Structure 1
């Protein structure tokens, strides 16, 4: 790590004339907060990764009955590559906050604090993310040109930490991320739905009256809480269905991988666990667990085709209550 690089970047964030966050400084500071990791690969490993992705595509096509193509961009990255890609994503997603800044902009000290907080967050994520399917929400790119990223240093280190073979673990991660590609192919409406909920929640939070409403117990059912609640429910379905698909499609034993990775998600030293709580990792784990339990129950009691009806239209998404009562969802949808 180069913490002096991080400090210099954050200190310089007071210089830009406007914007609540200096995103260039976020990227620079986050890179100072973590080593990039080793990306040197022999041709055999590159070929094996390509085979993992193709096998995942073919297995998931067969399991889901959905014909889909792989994302337009598939990258094996180190941590600094991941930082660059995701800083661009955060910049797009949080752009509505900049639109609310008028006049003299944000005071330099506040901008530096915002920038520092975001840099610490991005650096922490860069050290922990294994793979990522990126639907490029709020991007101007072709909506079908999504991204698929594998953070090789993190996958290798996690395989050692979990005491599992790197090739098998890497392949399992590939099946999970490619499962997301199958979901988004099955539901052409999904990116637009997520974008709408995301934009509505962020835009509402920048409005003073909505912030007052946020604290009011007499809400009428509209506002940022509802937008983010809808987003959380949808992402629970996204993660849960991907877990179901990868388990049905994976071409090897995986019980030990699941058990050890779940333990890793819940474990960690006190500082790491603090960051996980602050960044909502507990909610993310809950999404995996709750969504997986929902779809596993639906598929076991009916079949995978019935579970796949969730992507037929937005109205088929389970409600928050139905996530805990799969039979109610089956009665309503199937």
Structure 2
């Protein structure tokens, strides 16, 4: 494991497409310490208890019908990279299929770029609800990257069990959204495919990108609302410590976060939460949950900044 193996995997990228996905996985894992999965029985039980408790609390508070994904995994960093390189490949496939001639040097650059992105995320993702977009099956999955949760809890000097439970509640809140809205995965896939297809034709589909942004703002904001109402403890200190840690990262980490759009995700959290807080204050959390009854109930870009417009348009 190390820099040499990572560079070698990238520079020997091969194949006919613009990205050698096998080399992406090899390079990302070569530069990433997998971390330990030596869990005690109590820790294994703790994850299971947190997920079950989160499911029950979210069901009760949000009044939405959903169940947990069949696949709930405690992973190390290499497991997470393997699971997500397949998603990256599926999302990029429409673009790759439209590229007929690609010099080998460009393939190396693309492979290196993707491997850096996956390695960075593999070292930082704590938990993930994965709707497995563009997969051939309708399966969903829930991942917890145990070495990262342990590392961050230690770095922030917070109780590991409390921090782990907070992560579990947030990811289960996402499971609630997709469970309550069976149409949501298809909606995201269709919009994403349109945006990627336009890129393959050398154009930018701004409407598709705006639709993706507004939908993901609703997804992130609703999860934040549910977290506020369902989590059985105060967590403002956890949020502040996590944000302070992000702000304190070095320049390279900040550049990578910007390139990956992670700053945009923070904005989606804040903007979406402000929208759903206003809706829930007016109609309660059950009233806010009707956003998942139908695609037409998703807020528009304008409504996200003026919840009164959505309240006037969408009945209780």
Shift of 1:98: 1.9
- Report the Cα distance in structure 1 between the residues aligned to 2:307 and 2:36, rounded to whole angstroms: 44
In the alignment, which of 78, 85, 90 is matched to residue 87 of structure 1?
85
CA contact 1:59–1:249 (8 Å) conserved in 2:
yes
CA contact 2:126–2:167 (8 Å) conserved in 1:
yes
Shift of 1:308: 0.8
Q: How does 1:248-267 map to 2 (within 5 A)?
A: 248-267=229-248
4+ long deviations beyond 4 Å: none
Which whole-Å deviations, capped at 9, do the CAs of 1:64-88 have from their partners, x for residues lacking one? 1112111010010011000000000
Which whole-Å deviations, capped at 9, do the CAs of 1:5-57 have from their partners, x for residues lacking one? 111101110x32x1110000000000112111111101111011100100000
For the aligned residue pairs, the C-alpha RMSD in angstroms reads 1.1
In the alignment, which of 160, 173, 178 is matched to residue 184 of structure 1?
178
Shift of 1:276: 1.1
Query: Hey, what does 1:134 align to over in structure 2?
Result: 130
CA contact 1:20–1:97 (8 Å) conserved in 2:
no
1:157 lines up with 2:151 in the alignment = yes
Shift of 1:301: 2.5
Query: Hey, what does 1:219 align to over in structure 2?
Result: none
Shift of 1:311: 0.7
List alignment gaps of at least 5 residues for structure 2.
none
Which whole-Å deviations, capped at 9, do the CAs of 1:292-311 have from their partners, x for residues lacking one? 11111111122111111111
- Report the Cα distance in structure 1 between the residues aligned to 2:269 and 2:108, rounded to whole angstroms: 34
Query: Hey, what does 2:54 align to over in structure 1?
Result: 56
Query: Hey, what does 1:221 align to over in structure 2?
Result: none
Which whole-Å deviations, capped at 9, do the CAs of 1:181-237 have from their partners, x for residues lacking one? 1101111110010000000000111113xx2xx4xxxxxxxxx21111101110000
Shift of 1:265: 3.7
List alignment gaps of at least 5 residues for structure 1.
215-223
State the aligned residue count.
315
- Report the Cα distance in structure 1 between the residues aligned to 2:17 and 2:54, rounded to whole angstroms: 41
Shift of 1:101: 2.6
* TM-score when normalising by structure 1: 0.92
